[in-house]
Amino acid sequence: MRIESRLAQIGSVSEPVTGAVSYPIYNATAFRHPRLGQSTGFDYSRTKNPTRAVLEEAIAELEAGDAGFAFSTGMAALQTIFSLFRSGDHLIVSLDLYGGTYRLLERIMGKFGVTASYVDTNDLEALERCRTESTRAVLIETPTNPLMMVTDLAAVSAWARSRGLLTIVDNTLLTPFFQRPLELGADIVVHSATKYLGGHNDVLAGLVVTKGKELSEEMAFLHNSIGSVLGPNDSWLLMRGMKTLALRMERHQENATRIAQYLEGHPLVAEVFYPGLESHPAYSIQRKQASGNTGIFSFKVTDARLVEPILRHIRLIAFAESLGGVESLMTYPAVQTHADIPEAIRRQVGVDDRLLRFSVGIEHADDLIADLEQALVAAEEETKGAGSRG
């Protein structure tokens, strides 16, 4: 079946006793054993829960992997992946990186002797220069958050495999509906499922999919041992959200493309970062490895003084963190999502005081453009007024 049908049917044929189309929520933490030495397959809910198991099987199948694992948050998923490594190990990581991932690597994993180098992962020569005898993996965001840098996954995965390294890909922004990194050679895929997979700003979750028997068994051990698993109620909410993923991603992409094109021609906007635009430097790579584009992009205004009044004047669009929900959200990365990244590093990659990130929802594009237009007009008038008074 095509992915749209597989998404809509998540859990619908998994309950054999009653035939429930919506898979039940099993809140039980313990399960009876038929007799000594026998198990139903469920013993203790941290290890395996029926509701979570259906979700995990679904994401593994959608990502074309061998095993799926559901976590309490995306950061918990990353922490468990990083537990594959030990003191002295080195990771190569995407240069433009979500601030929470940077914080986890530098302020927590660094305490345990795991180090990281941050590079443009689309530059194979830079990857080779960073590689040491201690390097164990490459962690890639593509597209990156917030500057939408794109990595050629097939090329980097082949490079990593030839050197005995794992390739870990954060697929949060595209989801398996538009991009499947394991099919391009990656070993592990991770999602902040809070975002597009859940899609409604109402559930915290992380998902991991692995390829290969040995790696899947090691991840299962860590998942159970660390125990940051997703509860059954949130597992059910996430499955419900995923059923409409195809419809939502198509609308997110359609809206984001229209609005990015509108902003690209706006006199108050200096630059738009969106891989769905032909002006994006990796537009051809994106088209080669993904069947569509995300609903998030970033843009730089011409004057940093415009930022505050824009955020104050938007009405339909909410000034709020997070992304991937049906509601449109705008955020200011320099002081919010990327505040934990040192200013010098932020500025080096382009996350400066003129950058705004826009998670485009599924509202009507014309209404979103109208909201942006009135906010930009109001911001320009205020900035001119402040300048004349000065």
Cite the active site residues.
Answer: 46, 98, 170, 195
CA atoms within 13 A on the CB side of 157: 20
- The 3-state DSSP class for residue 237 equals helix
How many CB atoms are located within 10 Å of the residue 257 CB? 19
What does the alpha-carbon distance between residue 179 and residue 173 come to, in Å, rounded to a whole number?
A: 9
What does the alpha-carbon distance between residue 300 and residue 71 come to, in Å, rounded to a whole number?
A: 34
What does the alpha-carbon distance between residue 386 and residue 390 come to, in Å, rounded to a whole number?
A: 6
Q: Helix/strand/coil (H, E, C) string of 97-139?
A: CCHHHHHHHHHHHHHHCCEEEEECCCCHHHHHHHCCCCEEEEE
What does the alpha-carbon distance between residue 352 and residue 354 come to, in Å, rounded to a whole number?
A: 6
Q: Which H or E run contains 146?
A: none
What does the alpha-carbon distance between residue 104 and residue 325 come to, in Å, rounded to a whole number?
A: 24
218 CB-near residues (< 8 Å, 6+ apart): 84
340 CB-near residues (< 8 Å, 6+ apart): 99, 100, 102, 103, 107
User: Measured between alpha carbons, how far is residue 122 from residues 78, 93, 115, 151, 152 in Å?
Assistant: 21, 11, 20, 5, 6
**Residue 342 one-letter amino acid:** P
How far separated are the first and last CA of the chain, in Å rounded?
A: 64
